[in-house]
Amino acid sequence: MTFKVSKNDDQTNSLPGEVAKEFNDFNQALSYRDSLLLTGFGDAAIKFYIFDEEKAFDGVKEYISIIKTNDLFIPETEIMEAKNEILLAANKLDFKAYYTLRSRIFNDIKFMILMGILTLFIITFLVLLFFLTFVRSKNRNKANRIKLYQSIVADPLSNLLFTYELEEIQAMDYQQIKGIFNTEYFEESLFKDTLIKEIIYVNKNLKGDFKDKLKEIYLILKLNNFSLKKLKSKNWEDQASGIVELHEMNIKEAVPQLTPLLQSKVFLVRTNAVRAYLHLSPSKDLKFLADQDFPLSRWQQMSLYRVIKQISKNEQVKVINLLDSDNPSIRVFGIKLVRLLGRMDRISELSKMYPIATLAEKVEILITFKSLNAFTELDLTHRAFLGPEPKLSVLAAELMGVIGDESSADLLFEKLKQKGNSFELLKSMMVSLFSLDKQKFETVVEQQDNEQLYKLRAHIKDSLLAYV
């Protein structure tokens, strides 16, 4: 409610604009009106406004009555008393912030997640830094110790090899040879490991009696037991190292301990174990290799071939076991061995397995037939040539140039008349036909009037390009 002091509607003269005023307090408005009356403004009067709407005095009394009846009116004195009571109560309490810094931090989920990630990163970084520093320091110390042990081993080992005869070394015992090395580190594992590596290194570079001397030193010092112990280690590096040591020192007693490692899941351990077993085992039937579950890589095949090639000089290995293996890669390796070892006696087995062989096996069989000049397998070659597999047709065409006869020349002649042959197949057929029947070779070129055939003929007949 507001109170405005202005002219009385019953008077003709009005109050000046700077004299009329509006008040929120009735007592102030009443006092102001009285002062105006005293100064000569007889038309000054108080007007009542409720929500900016002018009301008569009776309407004002009714409005105030409604407010009091509904307890909507609070006297100013009571308001001031309530304010004073609140201030007095507040002064009696100790100040305590509603939000502390800690509570605000812990109530912010995103901030807590970020802090957790940063903390984890810092902890991980510190742990990794400590680990790398520790490992680097450990490796540096190990490398320094190995250099020390190598310097200790060098002179006594040379002394044993060049001063003592084989019979003298064989007559020595553990304590005598240990005394020659004369070191406090002899019983340490790293020293023995360094000594074995030095013995193997020298063993690879020397021949004759020196190899026998090194083996005697190795056995007398019971280093073979140290190597055998590595085979039972759970560390694959130790296993691989132990296998190589026993292989190089030709310790045949290690064969039983090598058997479990033939099926190792670790490629290097499995490869070394197969090579060592093949070299050390008295039985050369290759049955252990045929039972391999893992595929045989080309690198493994090359490594095994080097061992088998040395064995086959003294006794024949049973390649037939590889051809009967359930492992396709082993069968392929067996076919290659037939070719590389020149086993003509196994051509019939290859012929029998050809119909049920995989594509990779058929390819190796045809290559083997060509390498061994398998004249007995001409019918099989013709079937492969006429078959649907392009790669086998090319190999069969090349093979017919080696073992073919007149019927082979006729097949090549008819095939060359057909359209849609690949360049690789055309080249193989032309080369084989040239070696079988030069007249048909010339005839097919003239009859077909094909530019490719003309170029192939010129290439084949050029002696300078015979091996290109």
Per-residue pLDDT reduced to its tens digit, 361-392: 999 999 999 999 999 999 999 999 999 999 99
Q: What is the pLDDT of residue 129?
A: 93
In the prediction, which pLDDT does 12 show?
43
Contact, 338 vs 319, CB < 8 A?
yes
Give the range with max mean pLDDT: 3-12, 50-59, 110-119, 332-341: 332-341
Burial level of 377, CB count in 10 A (0-12/13-18/19+)? buried
Whether residue 5 has pLDDT greater than 90: no
pLDDT at 13: 47
H-helix segments, 2-94: 26-38, 57-69, 76-92
Mean pLDDT of the chain: 85
pLDDT reading at 11 higher than 50:
no
Structure confidence at residue 106 as a pLDDT band (50, 70, 90)? low
CA dihedral 126, 132, 136, 137 (to 10 degrees): 30
Task: Extract the tokens encoding 385.
Answer: 């040539």
Eight-state DSSP code of residue 24? S
Segments making up each domain of the chain, as ranges: 2-100, 101-221, 373-468
Indicate the SS3 state at residue 437. coil
The per-residue pLDDT for range 128-159, each reduced to its tens digit, is: 999 999 999 988 998 999 999 999 999 999 98
Average pLDDT over residues 21-47: 78
Q: What is the pLDDT of residue 113?
A: 86
Cα separation, 412 vs 414, in Å, equals 6
**What confidence score (pLDDT) does residue 90 get?**
67
CA-CA distance, 8 to 191, in Å (whole number)? Answer: 124
Task: State residue 336's pLDDT score.
Answer: 94
Q: What is d(CA 101, CA 99) in angstroms, rounded to the nearest whole number?
A: 7
Q: Distance between CA 344 and CA 258 in Å, rounded? A: 33
Is residue 315 pLDDT above 70, yes or no?
no
Q: What is the pLDDT of residues 227-274, one digit of tens each?
A: 999 999 999 999 999 999 999 999 999 999 999 999 899 999 999 999
104, pLDDT greater than 90: no
Distance between CA atoms of residues 196 and 218, nearest Å:
8
